Chain A
């Protein structure tokens, strides 16, 4: 039974991380590429870590909860790295694709 839970969690996590990476390759411009890794991977990593938690809790004696910490820190840092990347992209005036709306909302650096 626990093996089933672990494998299903691993599969869900793996597929979300895979989708995030596909997004990174497939999207046409930098700003759209950023959406995959900042979001799809957080849930992916969370379920992979839950799988690890279930596995180590059943395989060894006693609960293993360190993985919760990793999830918390991932949740805290994922938006920050995304923000740093998009900020530097705007600073370097990277081109977004033609049909992007509201480009004039970007203000020039002082």
Chain B
């Protein structure tokens, strides 16, 4: 896990890139003037605001992150269709359940991303992260954390945990190298 970039003037490369494209999209143009303005804003805003923000882990493998994003988008589409079928089917057949997924990730930012992808993908909504942060004392080794998720149609608990860990957690570990 790395928190600092190689260049001091560019604390958050991904955020800068995002800011650049958001500015262009908001103005709906790619004229020279807007390109220059977007570049200036993308460089200056993260630089000015970086002292206010807590340092977050950097994306170390951007290409892998992009591929993971495409995979998640694909899963969102299939998730929508699956959940639509489950919703329209009879209620009695559904077997809801709570599942605890043990996490290998330790930092809160990758965990947040994992929880969000779990919420957007088939039949699962993330509910809680255990243990709460308040449980930690300074300097103590972080405890094993769990992600509590609610499943709409729980068939095989272990298979579900394995899918989440392999499909969503392993790439995140690779991307942030933590």
A interface residues, Cβ below 8 angstroms from B: 16, 19-20, 22-23, 26-29, 31-32, 34-36, 38-40, 42-44, 62-66, 68-69, 75-76, 78-80, 82-83, 86-87, 90, 96-97, 99-103, 105-107, 110
* Number of B interface residues in the complex (CB < 8 A): 41
On chain A, the residues within 8 Å of B135 by CB distance are 110
Can you name 6 extra interface pairs (CB under 8 A) apart from A22-B88, A101-B98? A19-B84, A28-B91, A40-B83, A64-B28, A83-B115, A100-B97
Residue among B84, B100, B115 with most chain A CB within 10 A: B84
User: Taking the nearest CB of chain B, how far is it from the CB of A68, in angstroms?
Assistant: 6
List of A residues within 8 angstroms of B80 by Cβ? 16, 39-40, 42-44
Q: Which residues of A contact B134 (CB under 8 A)?
A: 110
**Does the CB pair A80–B116 fall under 8 Å?**
yes
CB proximity of B49 to chain A, nearest CB, Å: 18
Q: Which among B77, B97, B125, B150 has the highest number of chain A CB atoms within 10 Å?
A: B150
B-chain residues with CB within 8 Å of residue A68 when the two chains form the complex: 25
Contact check, B96 vs A32: say whether CB atoms are below 8 A apart: yes
Cβ-defined contact, B130 with A69, below 8 A:
no
Residues of B within 8 A of A62 (CB): 28
Which residues on the B side are within 8 Å of A65 (C-beta)?
25, 28
Which chain B residues border A69 with CB–CB below 8 Å?
22, 25-26
B96 to chain A, nearest CB (A): 5
Whether B125 pairs with A38 at a CB distance below 8 angstroms is yes
Task: Give the residues from 1 to 35 in chain B that come closer than 8 angstroms, CB to CB, to chain A.
Answer: 22, 25-26, 28
